[in-house]
Amino acid sequence: MAGHRRKKYQSGEGAQYVTRATAMRQLQLSLKDFRRLCILKGIYPREPRNRKKAQRGATGIKTLYNKKDIKFLLHEPIIWKFREQKALGRKIGRAKSLGEFTEAKHLINKPIQIKLDHIIKERYPTFIDALRDLDDCLTLCHLFSTFPSLKHVPRDQSSLCRRLMLEFMQYVIHTKALRKVFISIKGYYFQVEIKGQLITWIMPHQFSFEPQTKEDVDFRIMSTFTQFYIVLLGFVNYRLYHTVNLFYPPRVRIMQEYQGTELVDKMALQSERIAALNFPLWTGQSSTAEEEEAALDTFEVDADDVSKMEKAYIEAEKVRKLKTLFKGMKVFLNREVPREPLVFVLRCFGAEVSWDKTLFVGSTFDETDETITHQIIDRPAIEKQYISRYYVQPQWVMDSVNARELLPVEKYFIGASLPPHLSPFVDESTDGVYHPPEEKEIFGIGGTTVPDDEADDEEDTAAKDSESTSKDPSNEETAAPNSIKKKKGRKQKTAIVPEDENADEDTGEENPKKTPMKEENPVETLTKEERRELLKMKMKVKPGRVASDDPFKDKRAEREDFKLREKMVHKKHKALYKSMMRGRALRNKDVKILEKKRALIEEKRSAKTAG
């Protein structure tokens, strides 16, 4: 009996994917709730290998989801909360339509709360997993903390983002975990290292926010992401604070002038001091001494791993010195400089910071303090200056952190033309990346690799040079007859070849009229004195020289091997390989263009200084 034959699209990719409309019908959700659920659960559309089979022969491009992901969403309890919210909205609308405004107000004031704790534990089983996914979380929370009241963005959501970001920044200041900073047109890039994980986020510039006139940005979707990230950041902050024995929510020591007063709101005072980022957190311990850092363990390793261990020790020593980069410095910030990012960076490395009292709360000393070592200023001139301090521009702080040492302040004085602000996030190991000369000088990066085209050009020029050197008259064997002929004033029509060693030097003078010049043996035309002088030159002892090999022989052999390896690439991976090589060629082209631009800039600068 023949086996049961399967119908079309009952197996393979046709049975693995479902369209968005099918998924919404199975979950009985609207498009808005379906998007919200997928964002919270981390379910995203998939790209099939064969779209025609996955779409069951349908034309066009459809949004496809994995069938297992949709089955996974069927058991999510949040779906019932969405249905309850929809039912509550209908009740409120019915009460308003019937004129029962008291009932409608009562229903509005009792919204249905959705808890995402179980989703956080489900998506991040370990604390390290949560730290790895913190980049987008911090960036979006920092962005929403700057938003005013907008449509689809609750006001309490922005205030909660602001509070959580300040708590995270206070933890970074307390542990001195900041490693890199960079200023761009997008904002301030910060990179911290927490439990071995590098976390990078962007703090936007403190400009006045102008809402979008067009609906280019869907703030409802962004608010859904923020709703999830707020819960994640709250869990992370709680865990981080307790690992270093800090109170959570954080506390700062109330100033003495407010201790006995009852009129002051203690919670508002705490929040203001935390937002200032200028007061140390209260650990609740009697001793304020800093905890000693744990020393690196030493292990018996092989000879190959010795270099890796040495690099690890060198990097650990650099980080240890970086944590106390600004220790002992008292820095005053002028009104025009951005206060929050500079206070955050300076305090992460041990500096004392203050500003004008009328600018923001938390100022600890005035501008007239004689113990101030540096004043950050961003204006061309200032009326009153103190001899006991340096007046530098804000870029000096960021460049010193990236260089991991205090840079000379002469280049950053008031009104000085600042050096280029270099990004510390460029990977030194990647090929085809342009590195400015200043970056090579500060970070010790080597020169860019020579592309294959330039290597071929160098080989051709080297071959031409070798041919020209073989014809060079400086060669002793060919230089002697040439020099002799120049003395006698004769013209040589053919190339000189070595003369016969059996030539008799005792023969008489030859008659040039009777002895014609032979092209194959021009030595016969020389006189007796000329031959004797030539033989003396040949008998002279020459100093030994080291035999020089072809410098491009190894490169040519390596290139031939490389071409053979290229031919061995499998047909399935050929398109990917060509794409990689095309990208490398484009990067090399960009490097050449930037190097030419830099050369033109340097020429103009040198011409300007010379003129």
Q: What is the 3 state secondary structure string of 459-489?
A: HHHHHHHHHHHHCCCCCHHHHHHHHHHHHHC
Short-list 90, 73, 75, CA closest to 33: 73
Element (H, E) at 355: strand 352-355
pLDDT given for residue 513 in this prediction: 43
Residue 302's pLDDT is what?
61
Asked whether 450 and 457 are in contact (CB, 8 A), the reply is: no
Per-residue pLDDT at 290 exceeds 90: no
Distance CA 114, CA 80 (A): 10
452 band by pLDDT with thresholds 50, 70 and 90:
very low
pLDDT given for residue 553 in this prediction: 84
State mean pLDDT over 393-407. 93
pLDDT digits (tens, 9 = 90+) for 313-332: 888 888 888 999 999 999 99
Domain 325-423 has CATH 3.40.50.10190: yes
Q: Give residue 155's pLDDT band: very low, low, confident or very high (50, 70, 90).
A: confident
Q: Hey, what long-range contacts does 158-167 have (CB within 8 A, 24 or more apart)?
A: 160/230, 161/226, 161/230, 163/271, 164/230, 164/233, 164/234, 164/237, 165/138, 165/141, 165/233, 166/274, 166/275, 166/277, 167/237, 167/241, 167/248, 167/249, 167/250, 167/274
User: How confident is the model at residue 9, as a pLDDT?
Assistant: 75
pLDDT of 314 reads 84
pLDDT at 397: 94
Q: Provide mean pLDDT across the span 203-228.
A: 79
Query: Which sign does the torsion angle of CA 229, 230, 231, 232 carry?
Result: positive
Q: Which of 126-140, 250-264, 523-537 has the lowest mean pLDDT?
A: 250-264
Top pLDDT among 509 and 320 is at: 320
pLDDT tens, position by position, 541-586: 777 777 777 778 888 888 899 899 988 999 889 989 999 999 989 9
pLDDT band at 457 (very low <50, low <70, confident <90, very high): very low
In 3D space, the residue among 331, 323, 337 whose CA is nearest the CA of residue 395 turns out to be 337
Per-residue pLDDT at 522: 63
Q: What is the pLDDT of residue 509?
A: 44
Confidence tier at 449 by pLDDT (50, 70, 90):
very low
Cα 600 from chain centre: 27
| φ/ψ (deg, to 5) at 549 | -80, 165
Band (169; pLDDT cuts 50, 70, 90): very high
Q: Which class for 289: exposed (0-12), middle (13-18), buried (19 or more C-beta within 10 A)? A: exposed
Residues 412-431 have a mean pLDDT of 82
pLDDT tens readout for residues 228-255: 999 999 999 999 999 999 998 888 876 5
Sign of torsion over alpha carbons 113, 114, 118, 123:
negative
Interacting residues of 270 by C-beta distance below 8 A, sequence separation 6+: 251, 252, 254
Q: What digits encode the pLDDT tens for the residues 339-360?
A: 999 999 999 999 999 999 888 8
pLDDT at 184 over 90: yes
Tell me the domain boundaries of the chain.
13-76, 117-209+217-243, 325-423, 426-466+566-611, 474-491+522-538
pLDDT-derived band at 258, boundaries 50, 70, 90:
low
584 HSE (CA, 13 A, CB side): 14
Tell me: the pLDDT tens digits for 114-152? 899 999 999 999 999 999 999 999 999 999 998 877 777
Residue 154 pLDDT greater than 60, yes or no: yes
Question: End-to-end alpha-carbon separation of the chain, Å?
Answer: 99
- Amino acid 71: pLDDT: 92
Closest residue by Cα to residue 395 from 371, 373, 422:
422
The model's pTM: 0.73
Window from 172-186, 298-312, 389-403, 576-590 with minimum mean pLDDT: 298-312
The 10s digit of each residue's pLDDT in 478-489 is 344 444 344 444
Strand partners, 18: 65
Burial class (CB in 10 A: 0-12, 13-18, 19+), 19: middle
Residue that is written with structure tokens 């004085």 in the block: 413
Residue 520's pLDDT is: 52
Rounded Cα gap, residues 81 and 112, in angstroms: 7
The per-residue pLDDT for 471 is 42
